[in-house]
Amino acid sequence: MKNLSSEIIKRLITYYYLLSFCPSDQLDDFKRSIAPMCMELASQAGLKEKDFFVQALPEVCLRIVAFQQATREPDPEQITALIEAARNADKNSDTLTAFKAQMSHVAALPGRAKPENRLHRNKGCRYCAAACRYGYFTLVSDPQFSLLQELFVAEASKPAASQTPLMPAYIFAVNHLLRIAGSQEGFCEPVHAANLAYCLLMLSMAKSRMAFPDSQVRIFQSANQEFIRRQAG
């Protein structure tokens, strides 16, 4: 095995999360957009791209399942199932849909799906409508939270009647996805972008030890879920 460093594995984990967020009908555009990132990672590992994915995928899936099950000894059957789904995820829209379904299944496994096992269970995570689908992604993708703070400061400077509290979090989430992919184009279903925005906000609060009033967190999440329902409708 070549130079599959922890940093390379982390970046490949983010790749598979980005893939799971991608609308199935935009897969070809996503692959074109993300190709430079894939080539860069394979080059860093000293491998041909195909060999790189074959060698790195088991470790990627092991880490994802281990996090979602909140254990250092994840279920081998769950790891194998995720490997099989991920191996062909980018072949076509059907295989991508199957991979998304497997990622959703893993997120719902006993572990992080339980409110008491969530990352920030004593803060906003207890109001999250998703089964910790985004927590691991936010941890390994190194968000630049200084930008989020700047966005909220800019929003607060607007007249009260024109302020939109959701907007800074949404802009930050989209910019974060673009930065990871190294692309100017984004391919993310609205439900994932909105839930990811909430998750990133909770992580930023935890890291800064910023104490948002509980009532404001609930209002933010309620508005966030209303946005998701409108997008779905």
Give yes or no for residue 1 having a pLDDT over 50.
no
| CB of 228 closer than 8 Å to CB of 166 | no
Distance from C-alpha of 103 to C-alpha of 85, rounded to nearest angstrom: 9
- The per-residue pLDDT for 2 is 54
Distance from C-alpha of 233 to C-alpha of 230, rounded to nearest angstrom: 5
Q: How confident is the model at residue 67 (pLDDT cuts 50, 70, 90)?
A: very high
Distance from C-alpha of 13 to C-alpha of 229, rounded to nearest angstrom: 28
199 SS3 class: helix
- The per-residue pLDDT for 212 is 66
Residues 6+ apart with CB under 8 A from 145: 203, 204, 207, 208
Pick the residue with more confidence: 164 or 192?
192
From 96, 83, 75, select the one nearest 29 (Cα to Cα). Answer: 96
Q: How confident is the model at residue 101 (pLDDT cuts 50, 70, 90)?
A: very high
